[in-house]
Structure 1
Amino acid sequence: MKNWVQKVREEEKKKGGTVKYCPFRTNYHIMPPVGWLNDPNGLCQFKGIYQTYFQYAPFSVNGGDGFWGHCTSTDLLHWEYHDPVMAPDIPEDRSGVYSGSGLVEGEELTLFYTGNVKLPGDYDYIDAGRISSQMMATTKDGQHMSEKRKLLGPEDYPEHMTEHVRDPKVWKEDGKYRMILGARARAYRKDGTRKDKGCALVYVSEDKQHWDLDQEILPENNFGYMWECPDLFVMEDADEDKKIEILSFCPQGLPTEEGRFQNRYQSGYVLMSQMETIEDDFVEWDMGFDFYAPQTFEDDKGRRILIGWAGVPDTGEEHRNLSVENGWQHCLTIPRELTLQNGKILQEPVHEVESLPWKVENWNGERFFWGKKTVRLTVDNISPEGWRLCVGGPENGATFSVKEKHAELSFLMETGEAAACGGGRKKRTGILEMDVENVEILIDSSIMEIFINGGAMVFTTRIYLKENERELWASKAGKQTLCVL
């Protein structure tokens, strides 16, 4: 990977024109300049500037290059793109600079990540053939990195762990550094057959350089075979006036249930006090088609902010993204502000959304063409009889409907066929704890994010409509406010 910065610049210049004029490019969401994007990494506010790094594959629209892309913002909505900051250029990360986190201390930002190595040969890459090392680099400006340093390797993990150990999230607590890693532990059924367990490992350090295992978060009952992208943080419960420890992670291998676990892989959280009942108390972050690998950070206003990948791994056989033909794929979600009430997290778009120059349209649900505009729709005082929104036309569109405690997002047309604009997406449902009273919907070109009851439930989906197909109409409800940019 010699001269990789120049090679990336050349690739972005060569393919940038095709990408630029793609009708599915968004206005306020982080996207790859070209190629592929997945997990958000290293989220933080450093020297007053919001820093977002992300998994980036500039040379392949289908992923796999293992770079860290980089962009910055002062308002979490308008993003400036920079050169990638890291590439697979040393022996410990030659197969990819995988996901990780950022830790701000004064004038220095430390980035932690997993260096991935896949050895050539006939391996299963679970018990053999993979080397996962936890790495770090530092920067004074968020862009230019120090030499990389190895912190942990296979020799430092418990013996019953497979070779899947990754995605370090690091924070400082009580004068010590802590690192949580997602992992896959070898486990067996009573009959001796293999059934691995997802888990997390917590390490502790005095100096960020030398780490010791402090805790294994391993549920008694199997809850997926692998946990990715763990995030352990504390929030203050507004109703109970106490601080609560929360574990966010992405379990793989959960069986689908009615209204739960409908994607190939899931993303959610559980209160650490509820680990013994994780099967019942795990809450999904998002009920839509496109959400995975979220990461949170705290900004200088004390807000806990979450950004996720608006995508899910390994979904090519289920649905696809129609932007691929224009040389790029995937984006990140709008940043979401988290609040904790009575043991449940609410997610709402960061308040900076309010400051955008919205124009209010007089709208009572009749057909509205939004074309290139970004749309924000709020609906209050929804009755138990429900409410329904159509996005697109009758032959190519999606519907979102709510009634009592039920919500449904569907690309299925009256014929039962999936609409072309969904790329194969079909239907997702959710069941709330109380009747639906209000909805907020953001549509930014090819992404739609739906927040129900102040963010008690969220649906995220990509939707690929041509500009002349972009219309809305809705059933009448209490108060409907349509804003456009």
Structure 2
Amino acid sequence: MNKSDSYNLKYHITPPYGLLNDPNGLAFFNHQYHVFYQWNPKGTEHKHKCWGHVVSSDLVHWQRKSVALEPSEWYDKDGIYSGGAIVHNEQLYLFYTGNVVRDDGVKESYQCAAVSEDGEHFQKIGPLFEHPKGYTRHVRDPKVWRDHNGDWWLIVGGQREDMTGDTLIYKSTDLSNWECQGSFFEHDNKFGYMWECPDVLNFAENDIFVFSPQGLPEVGEYYKNPNQSGYIVGKLLETGKFSGNLSDFKELDRGFDFYAPQSFRVNDRIIMFGWMSAMNEETERAVPTIQEGWIHALTLPREIVLINGVLYQKPLPELQLLRLDGAHYKGNIRSGGWLLPSLQVEFIVHFSMLTQNFKMIIRNAVQIDYNSEENSLTVWRTNWLTNQKEYRKATLTNRLAGMQIFIESSSLEIFVNEGEEVFSLRYFLEDTEQRSVLLEAGDNEGEIKIYQLHECKA
């Protein structure tokens, strides 16, 4: 079944068919960027998980490869679940969670590895260690790194038997023998019932613990999605453990659809992808692309930088390779309307001095409201299941100076103040002729740039 122009994404990573979820195994190997992802090639349900695989030389133009990992062994026969990658001795190692449902119905998880010399064909190594005591079978998503002493560390998300979230850390000198060091992050707080997709980002001034807690209750304008992804600023200790405070947890993305991010370092850059979904099951089953035999996408790659204790997410400069024709408007932009040249557009608005409220309406489907008094930004969309308006809101630290918006036929990624806040979301509009952008911006000076973007997937 073909993807329609109404919903197809031309410059995001999507599955050729079936269901896509978490980004996995991000790596730079053999002069190419490798992105793996959770993939069900047999349908649009969360079953039959494999690892799909795409490669690129520039993080923009992607080529599909054959499936990298699929269920085949006793320890992963019911699904290849999420994990990370490392490059060592000119080989690419993948770490993943094998899902098993025994004949008696009991479910088990195994932390596994596979290795490749060419980056395409992988030999499975099997389970790395026994399941930890005191934890339910919900232990998954291994991420591995090497420290300056040459030791290897592996963290994995988990759920304690008291139904609280946690992350475990293991140490190895040879990538084969692993010793559990206990909880990666000592805490007594009940902060969700499961922590998924743990990750560590290293900066000169601090370290960052990124994870995706499930089951957080809403607090004001925070934690409105079914599951969250965020981070804590702290320090990675010589013991391999992390020192930080749960009370400092910050959401990574303030939009509707962002979850399970993973990062990798290439030279001096940290690059992150996320899964552009945070839906409950009922909302997911109503996504229109299911009728076309596919569902979900990854976010665009983002460079992660730490500024004054806050993670900024910046669109990669390489994304400018997508640009085709452009238009430029400068001066008083208090109100106006623009017709997008296609459904693949980069829309940039800068304000030289923003003193009043403004409103932007994209394709009559997504609305962005700025409240000058609160210095807050609110993004509205129509829920495709309920047909009701819903919103996400963030109060900015700095005055709003600009937004860089990547528009597709069924997705938006809004980068605010060069990545101080990001709103990622899906929306579904059947009318491909609706390409208007309306702006009510008071009496404000600034400039607008509009670039048509081209298709970049095999």
TM-score (norm 1): 0.85
Unaligned runs of 5+ in 1: 1-14, 123-128, 188-195, 237-241, 412-417
SS in 2 for 1:92: coil
Q: CA deviation at 1:121?
A: 5.3
Distance change in 2, residues 1:337/1:421 (3 Å): farther
SS in 1 for 2:297: coil
Distance change in 2, residues 1:93/1:423 (3 Å): farther
Match of 1:182 among 154, 157, 160: 157
Distance change in 2, residues 1:228/1:104 (3 Å): same
Distance change in 2, residues 1:202/1:22 (3 Å): same
Distance change in 2, residues 1:137/1:313 (3 Å): farther
Counterpart position of 1:96 = 79
1:467 and 2:432 matched: yes
1:60-114 deviation line (CA, Å, top 9, x unaligned): 1123111100000111111101111111111101110000111012420000000
Contact 1:24 1:446 in 2 (8 A): yes
Contact 1:291 1:311 in 2 (8 A): yes
Match of 2:229 among 267, 275, 285: 267
Letter in 2 for 1:333: T
1:268-316 deviation line (CA, Å, top 9, x unaligned): 110135965312x11111011110000000113x210000000125342
Q: CA deviation at 1:357?
A: 3.1
Letter in 1 for 2:304: L
Counterpart position of 1:258 = 220
Counterpart position of 2:98 = 115
* Deviating more after overlay: 423-432 vs 336-345: 423-432
SS in 2 for 1:355: helix
Q: CA deviation at 1:172?
A: 0.9
Letter in 2 for 1:73: S
1:74 and 2:57 matched: yes
Contact 1:318 1:425 in 2 (8 A): no
Counterpart CA distance in 1 for 2:377 and 2:291 is: 32
Counterpart CA distance in 2 for 1:313 and 1:357 is: 31
Distance change in 2, residues 1:178/1:463 (3 Å): same
Distance change in 2, residues 1:135/1:447 (3 Å): same
Counterpart CA distance in 2 for 1:427 and 1:121 is: 44
Q: How does 1:66-465 map to 2 (within 5 A)?
A: 66-119=49-102, 129-154=106-131, 157=132, 159-173=133-147, 174-187=149-162, 196-216=163-183, 217-236=185-204, 242=205, 244-273=206-235, 277-279=245-247, 281-300=248-267, 302-312=268-278, 314-317=280-283, 320-363=286-329, 366-370=336-340, 372-381=342-351, 383-393=354-364, 397-404=365-372, 405-411=375-381, 418=382, 420=384, 426-465=390-429
Letter in 2 for 1:259: E
Letter in 2 for 1:471: S
Contact 2:75 2:126 in 1 (8 A): no
Distance change in 2, residues 1:283/1:211 (3 Å): same
Tell me the C-alpha RMSD between the 2 structures: 2.1
Number of matched pairs: 434
Contact 2:93 2:113 in 1 (8 A): yes
Distance change in 2, residues 1:403/1:318 (3 Å): farther
Unaligned runs of 5+ in 2: 236-241, 454-458
Normalized per residue, the structure richer in helix is: 1
Counterpart position of 1:6 = none
Contact 2:208 2:231 in 1 (8 A): yes
Counterpart position of 1:35 = 18
SS in 1 for 2:216: coil
SS in 2 for 1:162: strand
Contact 2:323 2:451 in 1 (8 A): no
1:202-258 deviation line (CA, Å, top 9, x unaligned): 10001111100124124221111110000012113xxxxx3x111000001111011
Counterpart CA distance in 1 for 2:285 and 2:124 is: 40
Counterpart CA distance in 2 for 1:314 and 1:421 is: 11
Q: CA deviation at 1:377?
A: 1.5
Contact 2:343 2:435 in 1 (8 A): no
Counterpart CA distance in 2 for 1:350 and 1:153 is: 40
SS in 1 for 2:84: strand
Distance change in 2, residues 1:315/1:425 (3 Å): farther
Structure scoring higher RCO (CA < 8 A, sep ≥ 6) equals: 2
Q: How does 1:7-86 map to 2 (within 5 A)?
A: 15=1, 18-19=2-3, 21-86=4-69
Contact 1:422 1:464 in 2 (8 A): no
Contact 1:398 1:419 in 2 (8 A): no
